[in-house]
Amino acid sequence: MIKQKCIEAGVGAQNRKKILQAAEKCFAQYGFKGTAVQKIADEAALPKTNVLYYFKSKQELYVAVLEETLSLWNSHFDKATVDDDPAEVLADYIAEKMEVSRSHPLASRIFAMEIINGAENLSGYFDEEHGLWMKGRLAVIDGWKAANKLPDVDGEHLLYTIWASTQHYADFSAQITRLRGKKMVKADYEHATRELIKLVLGGCGLAVPTRYAGDIV
């Protein structure tokens, strides 16, 4: 009996994963309004009833995809303190954001479209949690400035710059491909990551950590 329940739980987790992956692809291609539950079911190769068993509505599934995207953006920067080296923390943060843009571009595009359309599907919980995160990270940046670890840069705009530059590689990948004449591969992302770290840290008067001066492993 216990074994059977474990098997059912495993199947449920696999189906949920398949549904979320299919939904991510559909929402990125057709948007929220243009995506039907049946379209997601077809993409996941599951009956529509299965999709609605795990997610009661298209709205619930869409919010789940948005929440998955936010979890992807969790980083070491979330737990950084004033005692940490800002060059190390910011370089790692840029590298982590770039890796998500490389590995999960669809998730980034869905989130971008949601924000552009007024963020109506993001709950008050998100606003509160995101606001607390922002307040905490700005406090750390201000602490670095007070400790003379960082010049007098505006922390808010520093974060906006990092988000805009790193997420650009996911949200506007089609533009980049057209301009370059080919898609970016992993080595291209590694080079872009080093360049962004050099640009951002250089603008903050910080030295680039040694591990980002050469090839990223």
* Better pLDDT: 1 or 152: 152
| Predicted pLDDT at 125 | 66
Q: Which residues, 6 or more positions from 23, have their beta carbon under 8 angstroms from its beta carbon?
A: 35, 40, 43, 44, 61, 62, 64, 65
How far is it, in rounded angstroms, from Cα 182 to Cα 2? Answer: 52
pLDDT per residue over 124-178, tens digit each? Answer: 767 788 889 999 999 999 999 999 999 999 999 999 999 999 999 999 999 999 9
pLDDT at 117 over 80: yes
pLDDT per residue over 15-70, tens digit each? Answer: 999 999 999 999 999 989 899 999 999 999 999 999 999 999 999 999 899 888 88
Averaged pLDDT, 102-112: 92
| Predicted pLDDT at 2 | 42
Averaged pLDDT, 61-85: 90
| Predicted pLDDT at 36 | 95
pLDDT band of residue 217 (cuts 50, 70, 90) is very low
| Predicted pLDDT at 104 | 92
How far is it, in rounded angstroms, from Cα 41 to Cα 200? Answer: 43
| Predicted pLDDT at 110 | 92
| Predicted pLDDT at 8 | 46
* Better pLDDT: 205 or 6: 205
pLDDT at 6 over 60: no
| Predicted pLDDT at 3 | 41
The answer to whether residues 149 and 85 touch, using CB atoms and an 8 Å cutoff, is: yes
Beta strands in the chain (DSSP E): none
pLDDT at 118 over 90: no
pLDDT per residue over 186-208, tens digit each? Answer: 999 999 999 999 999 999 999 99
Whole-number Cα distances in Å, 9 to 115, 153, 173: 34, 50, 37
| Predicted pLDDT at 16 | 93
How far is it, in rounded angstroms, from Cα 191 to Cα 82? Answer: 29
The answer to whether residues 170 and 103 touch, using CB atoms and an 8 Å cutoff, is: no
